[in-house]
Amino acid sequence: MTREALLVVHSGRKVNQSTAAGVVRRLASAGIRMRIFADEWSEVPGDLPPGMEPIAVEAHPGAADGAEVTLVLGGDGTLLRAAELARPAGVPLLGVNMGRVGFLAEADPESLDEAISAVIEGDYHVEERMTVQASVVLNGGPVRSTWALNEAVVEKVNRGRILEVVLEVDGRPVTGFGCDGVLCATPTGSTAYAFSAGGPVIWPEVEALLLVPLTAHALFARPLVISPSSEVAIEVDAKGYPAVLVADGRRTIPIPPGARVELAQGEAPVRLVRLRDQPFTDRLVRKFSLPVRGWRGVPTPPHHS
């Protein structure tokens, strides 16, 4: 049976294009047929020997079906784009950070060879990350739904106006205020937009929903960490202004006045490839370049058999 993998590339940078060509060549040599979006492959330089050419596919929901892994060359935005295709198929994502922080990526360009070897040998484990489901509801009926790996945000449309909202948790009102918006993040998203908005960092193994008000005009407008089994709603004032629901910065749904956005843990997780057992603490320190010089903790002694 032919092994196949999907390759998603941020092809706007030349270094990514040349890296993609090398990845396709190496995996094809190992008997793994690559799928790549036709428009992205057209920007990749170099000719491949017969039999090594990737399968050109369109960016439709079935693009990842049957693939062993989705390999992503780019930053977090590229990985979030790839997640839209990999999540429905249950295919794990292996991100190689070719951007800046790349918090979701497992490898950097320096460890690309290790990542490719792991794919060839199947020597990796998969970590499941919870998602958030968001539905816009008007007059008791659903309008549209979407999902997010990082966050779903209710934001005002008119920059010069205040968005009036009421927060609800498990069918009970919590508080209301005027704001620029309200963000509902997963633990994965706690290091993204939620972090910039003043929310706490949540370790990935802690399943929870995080609510972060954005520039709220209220005394009680602090981030809230809520049970993953809870149901959250954000009601938009019927006499106020329209808003918009934005999922992972990629998918948007208009929110008319008087509508509510209902949020809950998503039914399907996003699966991420991990090459080694690395504490999240080390990832946090490395990605944010946190100052740890002077640490006097006791290191774990070596194990002697």
Q: Identify the CA nearest to 121 among candidates 31, 55, 54, 48.
A: 31
Looking from the CA of 207 toward its CB, the CA atoms found within 13 Å total 13
DSSP state of 107: B
* Active-site residue, 282 included: no
Residues 293 and 52: their CA atoms lie apart, in Å, by: 48
Kindly give, in sequence order, each residue whose CB lies less than 8 Å from that of residue 200, ignoring residues fewer than 6 positions away: 190, 210, 223, 225
Binning the chain into helix, strand and coil, the percentages to the nearest 5 are 20, 35, 45
Residue 100's alpha-carbon distances to 75, 103, 122, in angstroms, are 7, 9, 27
Residue 177's alpha-carbon distances to 167, 170, 212, 259, in angstroms, are 9, 19, 13, 16
Residues, the chain, total? 305
Which three-class secondary structure state does DSSP give residue 15?
helix
Catalytic residue among 39, 47, 65, 76: 76
Kindly give, in sequence order, each residue whose CB lies less than 8 Å from that of residue 251, ignoring residues fewer than 6 positions away: 146, 148
Whether 211 contacts 233, CB under 8 Å = no
Whether 289 contacts 170, CB under 8 Å = no
Residues 65 and 107: their CA atoms lie apart, in Å, by: 24
Q: Active-site residue numbers?
A: 76
